[in-house]
Amino acid sequence: MTAPGGEDAILVLNAGSSSIKFAVFGGDLKERLTGMADGIGGDGALRVGRNRQKATFGTHAAALAAVLEGLAAQGFSADRFRAAAHRVVHGGMELTAPAKIDVHVLAGIRRCVPLAPLHNPHNLAAIETLARLAPDLPQCASFDTGFHASNPEVAKRYALPADIEARGIRRYGFHGLSYASLVRAMPEVTGEALPRRLLAFHLGNGASLCAIRDGQSVATTMGYSPLEGLTMGTRAGSIDGNAVLRLAGEDGMDATLRMLNKESGLWGLSGGISDMRALLEDGGERSRFAVEHFCYWAVRHAGSMIAAMEGLDSVAFTGGIGENAGPVRQRIADGLAWLGLRLDGAANDNGSAKLHAEGSDIGCWIVEAKEERRIAADALELLGAA
């Protein structure tokens, strides 16, 4: 099955609670088309390439059907794809590598619903709906937790009784597809082999760090859920469990869950601003403190990651903040200056790929996040085409 132009094509799908994002890649892994069905459950819109129109999607099934119709209108009918590839947030302990979707993989994703109740059900809905709409189209899945399966067991276990750990309460880590993409893309950016000890900063509304040694994750800041670790856009990051218990007792479980995930982080510290660009432009005392809090905890957690790797050879920034916020990169680099990291100020201000100054003991780079491309590459590898 080939798409227009005779190239193998992969449809990448990322189903969320109220949207389905998609991208089409050729067999050469060049992006051909992107779009999104947004506003599922009410008034929304369908964007396919540059074409955008208002639409109403009552369900994920209706949204996905509209996506397929929109793609067909652009010359990408379902029978022209080699496969559809899905971003699945949680693979648990079983699904740690990209996989062709069959009844066993589908059951494994379903077993992980308690671990990612806000994400895996929507991933499942897209997979099952597509199976009905295009039954002959092979489907693959890439798991956001999978990259961190290489962490040592001592890093993945909380200090909890065995019967609690057996219920799946352990560190999984997230942003794995971003880090897997970075590992693949960084040598293309630098023209050099992947550094042996690489500290990766995925900084965006969700933020985490990953210690990558010899191309594998050995530690990461997120844990059982994406709430743990750094200060984020609206998430609190790490917080003492007893503080959470007190809040849940005084304010209720639902209110505490919402506060920690939706009303904390940069938003909570600044009094209502979660966007890093707006915080840097605002310059008020609370905004400055929120930015400092974000950077301080990124540096502090970086020390833990460096210890897990037993040293550091290079740093890479990715994600919306990592790629675009020069002052944040500079503050973090200043916090790592004791290691011999020195940024080139002009390169940092310009957002150049190479950030480190001549004579710096530590390399520093911007590597653009290309998660969808990584998912497409996983599918092609599973199908034996790459």
**pLDDT at residue 98 above 60?**
yes
Q: How far apart are CA 386 and CA 379, in angstroms?
A: 9
Lowest mean pLDDT among 35-44, 250-259, 260-269, 283-292: 35-44
Question: What does the pLDDT read at residue 7?
Answer: 61
pLDDT category, 5, cuts 50, 70, 90?
Answer: very low
**pLDDT at residue 6 above 50?**
no
Mean pLDDT of the chain: 95
CATH of domain 191-371: 3.30.420.40
Please enumerate in sequence order all residues whose Cβ is within 8 A of that of 323, keeping only pairs 6 or more positions apart, or say none.
Answer: 317, 351, 366, 368, 369
pLDDT category, 60, cuts 50, 70, 90?
Answer: confident
Question: What does the pLDDT read at residue 43?
Answer: 85
Share of the chain above pLDDT 90, in %: 92
Question: What does the pLDDT read at residue 385?
Answer: 54
Stretch 114-136: mean pLDDT, rounded?
Answer: 93
**pLDDT at residue 202 above 70?**
yes
Q: What residues does each domain of the chain span? A: 9-143, 191-371
Stretch 183-200: mean pLDDT, rounded?
Answer: 97
**pLDDT at residue 283 above 90?**
no
pLDDT category, 118, cuts 50, 70, 90?
Answer: confident
pTM: 0.94
Decide if 352 contacts 366 (C-beta within 8 A): yes
pLDDT category, 10, cuts 50, 70, 90?
Answer: very high
- Identity of the amino acid at 213: R
Using alpha carbons, list the distances in angstroms from residue 75 to 37, 48, 78, 79, 303. Answer: 18, 12, 10, 11, 50
Check if 9-143 and 191-371 are the same fold.
yes
CATH 3.30.420.40 at 9-143, yes or no? yes
**pLDDT at residue 200 above 80?**
yes
Please enumerate in sequence order all residues whose Cβ is within 8 A of that of 335, keeping only pairs 6 or more positions apart, or say none.
Answer: 295, 296, 298, 299, 302
Question: What does the pLDDT read at residue 329?
Answer: 98
Give me the active site residues, please. Answer: 144
Question: What does the pLDDT read at residue 1?
Answer: 44
Q: In what order do the strands lie in the sheet with 9-15?
A: 51-57, 42-48, 31-38, 19-26, 9-15, 83-88, 139-143, 99-100
